[in-house]
Amino acid sequence: MARVFVITGPSGVGKGTLISGLMRQLPQLELSVSATTRAPRTGERDGVQYHFLSNEEFDRLEAQGGFVEHANYAGRRYGTLRSELERRVQEGVPIVLEIEVQGARQVRASMPDALQVFIAPPSLAVLRERLVGRGTDDPAEVARRLEVAQDELAAQSEFSHVIVNDELEQAQRELVALVQQALQGGEPLD
């Protein structure tokens, strides 16, 4: 029975929004709070959206084996903390990881039973509009993220579950149905 849910896909595709809706509808799920070396955005708080670390702190944790997976993304480091995962896995609490593609690959290798879902945009043009429109990143950062997105989109065939986030409500329904079915121990639909 899948207990670890990996939600991946390019930045700006709507992973965060879809995951918020998923957690509201399936409140037994818990979200893993990742570590990152990027600076907090306005309104982000340490320990809530991320554990914000210096490069040295990240290095130290990495050396101690503190990460389940970690990756460089657009010049910053991101990683899933072992401490976020272990207790929940032991207690059978289902956990959601919102991570980029390199991290998803590492989880696939170490936890093959985790259910992985790739969220795709309807097109690269729509992704660009969303990244610009959400206004969280300056133009240089948007450009970096779009460049990474091209590689990420090329990787979507690696994932057995792909949800196209064209119409939010539809994508939301598909994600909830997939996770719900996996929680109930059924074979996930392809």
List residues binding ligand 5GP (CB under 6 A): 11, 15, 34, 38, 69, 71, 73, 78-80, 98-100, 102-103
Neighbouring C-beta atoms of residue 95, cutoff 10 Å: 19
CA distances from 5 to 11, 74, 75, 127, 142 (A): 18, 24, 26, 23, 27
CB of 16 to ligand 5GP, least distance (A): 8
The DSSP bridge partners found for residue 42 are none
The DSSP bridge partners found for residue 7 are 98, 117
Q: For ligand 5GP, which residue has the nearest CB?
A: 103
* C-beta closer to ligand 5GP: residue 66 or 181: 66
* C-beta closer to ligand 5GP: residue 34 or 165: 34
CB of 108 to ligand 5GP, least distance (A): 12
* C-beta closer to ligand 5GP: residue 23 or 181: 23
CB of 45 to ligand 5GP, least distance (A): 13
* C-beta closer to ligand 5GP: residue 37 or 172: 37
CB of 186 to ligand 5GP, least distance (A): 27
Q: What is residue 50's DSSP assignment?
A: B
- Asked if 121 and 127 count as a contact pair (C-beta separation under 8 A), the reply is yes
> Which amino acid is present at 54?
S
Is residue 90 within a helix (H) or strand (E), and if so which, with residue range?
helix 82-91
